[in-house]
Homo-oligomer: A and B are copies of this chain.
Amino acid sequence: MTETISIRDRQRLQLAPLTVPNRLLLGPGPSNAHPTVLQAMSTAPLGHLDPVFLGIMDEIQSLLRYVWQTDNPMTIAISGTGSAAMEATIANSVESGDVVLVGVMGYFGHRLVDMAGRYGADVRTITKPWGQVFSLAELRTAMETHRPAILALVHAETSTGARQPLEGVGELCREFGCLLLVDTVTSLGGVPIFLDEWGVDLAYSCSQKGLGCSPGASPFTMSPRAMEKLQNRKTKVANWYLDAGLLGKYWGSDRVYHHTAPINLYYGLREALRLVAEEGLAACWQRHQKNVEYLWQRLEDVGLSLHVDREFRLPTLTTVCVPDGVDAKAIARTLLLEHNIEIGGGLGELAGKVWRVGLMGYNSRPENVDRLVDAFKQVLG
C-alpha cells in the first residue's frame, strides 16, 4: 500500500458509544418499535441470497398480504422508508403523459403531485380543506372531468388525521379503466383495510407506524392490473432502485440479485408482522380503535377539541386543536424535553393550529394515553 497523501483528522470526531433519552413517540411516526422487534434487529446477519434469508423474505411477503388483505403476488418490502415505497408506486405505474388525478386533502397528497410530475405525468388535482375527505360523488365527477389513467388517494392523511373512505372507489376506477393508487402509510395495521375487496391496484405503507417496526423497509404492492400496465410500458421504469420488474426477479422465484437487502431491518419487519398475525388483524384494529376513543374522551375531558369529524377520524392519528393563545411549538418542546413524550406539530394549512398525536402499533396502549394526557394537563397549566 503506497500512501503518499497524509490523512486529515479535522472531521475525526472522538465519540462515546451512543446513549439516547428514552422517548415515548406519540407523534405522527416513528412510533416506538415493539421490544422484540428491536431485539430481532440485532440478530446476526445473513447474506441477501442465503436460503434462510430468502425464506424470511417469503414470510414477509405472506404476512404483508395478510395485513393488507390482498393476494397480489407482487407484495414486497421496498428497501427504503415509506416515501420510497410511495415513489415506487408512482415510478412503476406512470409513463410520460399519463393523466394522474390526485385527491389532495393534506400534505401527502401534495407529495404525490410532486412525485408524479417528476415522472412526466399530466397531473390533475382535486382538493379539500385539510381535515376533510372526498365523497364518492365528488370522485365520480372528477373522474368524468379528467379521465385519468391513475387515481391517487390517501387513505389515512398523516398531516390531518382524516380517513378517506374507499368503499366503491375501486368499482369507479374500473368503470373508467383507471388504476387506483392508495397511500396506506398511517393505516396499515391500525385501520381496517381490504385492498382486494376495495379494488386497490397500487399501495404503499411504512413499517414504523401501525406495524410497530423500525423505519426503513416499506410495504409495497401491485395488483395484476397494475402489473399489466407495467408489462406494457413503452419505456423503462425511470427509477432503477424501485423498478418492480427487477425487484420481482429478486423477491420471486428467480432470485436474481438486484440490491443488497437491508438484512436486519427485514428481521425487524418479519418480527413486527409476526406479532400482528399472532394478535390477529381484527384484534389489532379493535385495539387501535378502543385506545383512540379513550384518547379522544380524555382529551375532551381536559377541554381540548379535535380537528376532524368523528366519522372520519383515524384510529392511528388524532389532530388536536391548539387552544387560542397557546404556542403549539413551545408546548410540544416542553413535552419532549421535560416529559420525554414526542408529539407532532401541524403541517401546511394546519401549522400552529393542531398537534398530531399518534397511537400506533406497540404504542396503542391505554397507559400511553394516560401518560400523555396527564403531561398535557400539567404543561397547559
Contacts and interface: CB of A to CB of B under 8 A. Distances in A.
**A27, A52, A53, A216: residue with the most chain B Cβ atoms closer than 10 Å:** A216
A8 interface: yes
Interface of A: 1, 3, 5, 7-15, 17-18, 20-23, 25, 27, 29-30, 32-33, 36, 38-48, 50, 52-53, 56, 59, 62-63, 65-66, 69, 71, 79-84, 87, 111, 114-115, 117-119, 192, 194, 197, 206, 208, 214-217, 236-241, 257-265, 267-268, 270-271, 274, 277-278, 280-282, 285-286, 289, 315, 336, 342, 347
Nearest to A239: B239
Contacts of A25: 45-47
Given A14-B277, A81-B261, A259-B82, A214 B1 contact: no
21 contacts: A1-B286, A1-B315, A12-B63, A12-B66, A13-B59, A13-B62, A15-B59, A18-B43, A20-B52, A23-B44, A25-B45, A27-B47, A30-B45, A30-B260, A32-B44, A33-B264, A84-B84, A118-B236, A206-B260, A214-B263, A215-B264
Nearest to A15: B274
Contact of A260 (B1, B7, B29): B29
B5 A197 contact: yes
A123 to B, nearest CB: 13
A159 to B, nearest CB: 10
B265 A18 contact: no
Given A41-B41, A214-B264, 10 more contacts: A14-B277, A23-B50, A81-B260, A81-B261, A82-B260, A87-B241, A114-B240, A115-B240, A214-B262, A215-B264
Main secondary structure of the interface of A (DSSP, over half): loop
Contact of A80 (B27, B30, B241, B257): B241
A45 B66 contact: no
Contacts of A215: 48, 260-264
